[in-house]
Each structure stands twice: as C-alpha cells, then as structure tokens.
C-alpha cells in the first residue's frame, strides 16, 4: 500500500532528519530499510516508513507514520528497534520530530 498524507486520517507522523557523511548516505538508507523490515514494521501501530535521500548526499529523512504518539514511544523503547537505532547513531546524528498533519494542499 502507498503511504498517503491526509490531515483527516488521525495518524501521527515522525519526521527523523539524519545528518550523515556523503559516503555513508547509502549505507544509512540500507540500515533504515532493514530496521523497518526487521523491527519497526512488527510493532503495534506501525503504518508506514518512507526513506528519503537528500540530493546533496548529506541527509537521510525517514517520514514515518504510526497510529498514535504512544505507539511511537513504545517503538523507540522496543529492544530490537533500539538496537537498530543504535547502529544508525553510529553513522549519523538524528533529530526525530513527532508531528501531526495540519493541512494539505494539492492540485
């Protein structure tokens, strides 16, 4: 299923911006892909994770959706998920921002 962005869906969004060395960007994308498949996806409330690469090579952004803030918090405390995030922390600094969709505009 393709992820959608909808202010009326009532989902929580986690935007996690990773700052990374250019020569490690692809490695970080693969690590987050694996973390999502092996750990995050199995946690309660998981809806989607969408991994983005900045064109300049210095960032990776995970746009992740979950049913609730509580589910995000539980996910971060889950031992399997925490192990993957520890590996990510070895490659990059990150800044996770828990959000709600305020509005959407499209053609």
Q: Which residues bind a copy of itself (CB under 8 A)?
A: 1-6, 12-13, 15, 17, 29, 33, 36-37, 40-41, 46-56, 59-61, 63, 69, 97-107
Q: Which is nearer to a copy of itself, 9 or 89 (CB)?
A: 9
Q: Which is nearer to a copy of itself, 4 or 22 (CB)?
A: 4
Q: Which is nearer to a copy of itself, 40 or 88 (CB)?
A: 40
Supply φ then ψ for residue 83, to 5 degrees. -65, -45
Minimum gap (Å) between residue 54 Cβ and a copy of itself: 5
Minimum gap (Å) between residue 53 Cβ and a copy of itself: 5
Minimum gap (Å) between residue 86 Cβ and a copy of itself: 20
- Work out the end-to-end distance of the chain between its first and last CA atoms, rounded to an integer number of angstroms: 22
Minimum gap (Å) between residue 65 Cβ and a copy of itself: 8
Supply φ then ψ for residue 63, to 5 degrees. -100, 100
Query: What are the CA-CA distances from residue 12 to residues 4, 18, 68, 85, 92 (Å)?
Result: 12, 19, 5, 20, 24
| C-alpha dihedral (93, 71, 10, 104), degrees to nearest 10 | 10
């Amino acid at each position: 299923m393709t992820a959608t962005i909808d202010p009326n869906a009532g989902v929580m969004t986690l935007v996690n911006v990773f700052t990374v060395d250019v020569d490690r960007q692809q490695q970080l994308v693969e690590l987050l892909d694996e973390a999502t498949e092996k750990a995050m996806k199995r946690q309660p409330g998981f809806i989607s994770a969408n991994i983005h690469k900045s064109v300049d090579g210095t960032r990776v952004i995970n746009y992740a959706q979950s049913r609730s803030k509580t589910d995000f918090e539980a996910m971060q405390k889950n031992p399997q998920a925490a192990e993957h995030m520890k590996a990510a922390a070895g490659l990059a600094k990150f800044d996770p921002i828990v959000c709600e969709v305020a509005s959407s505009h499209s053609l």
